[in-house]
Amino acid sequence: MEKIKRLLPLLFLFIIIAAVYRVWFGTGILSGGDLGMTFHSMYFNDYLYPFAWYWNQGVGLGGNAVSLLWIYVDFAFTKTIFGQILGLPWNIAERLAYFFPFLILGLPSSFVLAKSIFPKNPFLVASALIFLVNSYILMVVGGGQLWIFLSYAITPFVLYLFIKEINSIIDLAKWGLRKPFFIGLIFSLQFLLDLRIAYITLFAAFFYWLFKILQKRKIKDSLISLTFVFLIPGILTLLIHGFWILPTLIIGQNPLSQFGSAFTSANAVSYFSFAKLENSISLLHPNWPENIFGKVGFMKSEFLLSPILAFSSLFFSYKTKDQITKSYVLFFAFLGLIGAFLAKGVNDPLGGIYLWMFSHVPGFIMFRDPTKWYTLVAVSYSILIPFTLWRIYEWLKSKNKFSILKCKNLFLIFVGAYFLFLINPALSGQLGGTFKTTQIPNEYFNLESFFSSQNRFFRTFWLPTVQRFGLNSKDHPAISGQDLLGTYDLSSAVNKLKTNKDVLRYSSVGYLVVPYDSEDEIFIKDRKYNKDIYQKTINEVKQIPYLKQISGFGRIAVFEVPNPKDHFWSMKEGLIESYKYINPVKYIVNVKNAKKGDVIVFAENYNPKWVAINDNIQINSKQYDKLFNSFTLLKNGNYELEVYYTPQKYVDLGLAVSLATLVSIVVFFILSFKRSKSK
């Protein structure tokens, strides 16, 4: 009976997890927010080897991807393993690669932290529930922000490692480098999944380190722990991530510069500060439960009981004589408050502080969207609320006069019911995105087959923008029309296409597509689908004289662009005999009957670091038509040109550093393991 009683909370946890994430245990396609569809042909889009140039950067015309290589590596790993090697269909691959790992990592991760903080707390199950089923993470998961939720899942474990080692009284001889290296490895993994969540975890760990100093820890101990817990793992992380950090530093590229001011300006922060203090302190995501971008719901007062429960832990900690418990409660209470303060962004009170930090604190520029700081609130409450529940439960248990009523059990029922009430939208199927399966319209499959079956390079131009089920592959990159033309006004976009028909041809666009908006997210008026805009778009495009509509794609309107230019082309007929794609940063072009001064156009976004090399003679790229690369030939005859993106050499160098670091660590661990075994 006792055993069953002990298993009941676990059963409750698994039932809730299964109920909330039930759709994941089916087979339908999950898609929402940032997560689109990956057709089989798209499994080959990403490369395990990091390349400095990627075809899908720069609105589909290619661009420098050095500072984003970490995320490309993430995608490449999952698509290679689950798509290319195992050959799984996307509906299974996405579950195994992203969704199940979230639960598989998140459950033990939150348990480990909670167990290490309050080992005797019988409400550890509540920690996992609060951490994995709160309005913030449900919105992130529903929005298909894969790498954020995976990084979030291991946050408690990473924080646990930091806290554990900061607490250790460091014996240098005993410690050696094993633990710092292990922290470095795990932190590198979190860093690889998502930089921002890793930054937040590091922030929490560093705050704990400061907190320990304030608790009158010896300065010498603090400095040793700073070296072993932060400095060594930090250097290790930088070295492991050398493949993108090194070239980014050498090129001197600001990782965010390519996104423009929409990502880095103070105005952007103000715009993205959706949460107010009452939201963030209540662990209530501002978009809960509809998850429509920018649509902030009213404050749901029932969520205010969460901070009350969380911060009531302070009362119980005052009464306890255990200094460690007191210290932990105080730390996590502060962490929750700081998280709530930062998650509200520039909103009152003292919103200017966030704005100042955004401009002055290194790394803060990544937090245009302040809601990422909800992670701290979630971690904090996942520790504090179970602590409060434990203490209230114990208190009720000790009150004999209530024993007939079994108040402690009533209390548990009340708390359980309250929790279920809070997450009711998740239980009752009101959440969208990846909490619902998606039926992909047949016309998108037909379109994918039509494009993929053509063995030539061409781009597709989507007006107004690419639909989430549209094919976007390295052989057929998809261009968002409104982004390339720089206008959100339909008539203006169509006029630009009418007056300059070379825009499409020079960009190697084979087809113009007006998508069928099956997910109601493109042709929108007042946040609702508007069929008139869709129809008007088709009618306007039909007016473009040089386009020819192709039938057979149902509600998707497809128009053929006549004689689009190839990836490499020239105004001079027959100059380019052939070209060969080696990898995203290297092409071999064969020229025939070339004359000095002939020009070859390379239909990728202009970047001066593209060069064409022949017999050790380097031709630098010049801008062509304000958009593309071009090379003016320096000699006559028939010969071969190697077109190469030069920053790749820094990526190669960085990769060598990364691999050497990883191999060294593996060797170190093997030797260290053998040594400890022989002792």
Partner 1 sequence: MKLQDIIFLVIFVMLLLKRDSMWATLAGIICLFLSVPLFAFWIFFTVQHLICWKKNVLKTTGKIILTKVFN
d(CA 279, CA 430): 20
Give the x/- contact pattern for partner 1 in 527-566, rule: CB under 8 A: x---------------------------------------
Distances in Å between the Cα of 202 and the Cα atoms of 35, 37, 400 are 27, 33, 46
Nearer to partner 1, 389 or 463 (CB): 389
Nearer to partner 1, 175 or 411 (CB): 411
Let me know the angle formed at the C-alpha of 541 by 537 and 547, rounded to the nearest 5 degrees. 155
Nearer to partner 1, 301 or 593 (CB): 301
Longest dimension (CA), the chain: 102
Contact between residue 119 and residue 6 where contact means Cβ atoms under 8 Å apart: no
Residues whose CB falls within 8 Å of the CB of residue 503, separated by 6 or more in sequence, listed in order: 484, 485, 496, 497
Nearer to partner 1, 293 or 315 (CB): 315
Told to check if 406 binds partner 1 by CB under 8 A, we report no
Nearer to partner 1, 312 or 646 (CB): 312
Nearest distance, CB of residue 301 and partner 1, angstroms: 4
d(CA 669, CA 182): 9
Residues whose CB falls within 8 Å of the CB of residue 577, separated by 6 or more in sequence, listed in order: 590, 591, 592, 638
Distances in Å between the Cα of 253 and the Cα atoms of 188, 250, 295, 585, 615 are 21, 8, 34, 18, 31
Nearer to partner 1, 264 or 325 (CB): 325
Please report, as residue ranges, which positions from 179 to 238 form the binding site for partner 1 (by CB under 8 A). none
Q: Is the peptide bond before 464 cis (omega within 30 degrees of 0)?
A: yes
Nearest distance, CB of residue 326 and partner 1, angstroms: 11
Alpha carbon 564 to chain centroid, angstroms: 35
Give the x/- contact pattern for partner 1 in 281-320, rule: CB under 8 A: x-------------x--xx-x--xx-xx--xx-xx--x--
Nearest distance, CB of residue 325 and partner 1, angstroms: 15
**CA dihedral over 363, 242, 244, 143, signed as positive or negative:** negative
Residues whose CB falls within 8 Å of the CB of residue 115, separated by 6 or more in sequence, listed in order: 124
Give the x/- contact pattern for partner 1 in 239-278, rule: CB under 8 A: ---------------------------------------x
Q: Which residue has the tokens 């303060």?
A: 341
Number of residues binding to partner 1, judged by CB under 8 A? 17
Give the x/- contact pattern for partner 1 in 511-530, rule: CB under 8 A: ---------------xx---
Distances in Å between the Cα of 60 and the Cα atoms of 39, 475, 600, 605 are 18, 11, 20, 9
d(CA 333, CA 290): 29
Nearer to partner 1, 169 or 298 (CB): 298
Nearer to partner 1, 80 or 327 (CB): 327
Nearer to partner 1, 70 or 387 (CB): 387
Nearest distance, CB of residue 307 and partner 1, angstroms: 6
Please report, as residue ranges, which positions from 467 to 496 form the binding site for partner 1 (by CB under 8 A). none
Nearest distance, CB of residue 299 and partner 1, angstroms: 5
First to last CA, the chain: 45
Nearer to partner 1, 250 or 299 (CB): 299
C-alpha torsion 23→24→27→32, nearest 10: 80
d(CA 87, CA 27): 16
Nearest distance, CB of residue 294 and partner 1, angstroms: 12
Nearer to partner 1, 109 or 291 (CB): 291
Nearest distance, CB of residue 120 and partner 1, angstroms: 23
Nearest distance, CB of residue 330 and partner 1, angstroms: 9
Per DSSP, 371 falls in state G
d(CA 515, CA 75): 25
Nearest distance, CB of residue 425 and partner 1, angstroms: 13
Give the residue among 640, 630, 625 at the shortest CA–CA distance from 582.
Answer: 640
Nearer to partner 1, 150 or 275 (CB): 275
Nearest distance, CB of residue 525 and partner 1, angstroms: 13
Task: Read off the tokens for 16.
Answer: 């809730």
Contact between residue 56 and residue 132 where contact means Cβ atoms under 8 Å apart: no
Contact between residue 85 and residue 48 where contact means Cβ atoms under 8 Å apart: no
Nearest distance, CB of residue 271 and partner 1, angstroms: 18
Nearest distance, CB of residue 384 and partner 1, angstroms: 12
Residues near partner 1 (CB under 8 A) are 278, 281, 295, 298-299, 301, 304-305, 307-308, 311-312, 314-315, 318, 526-527
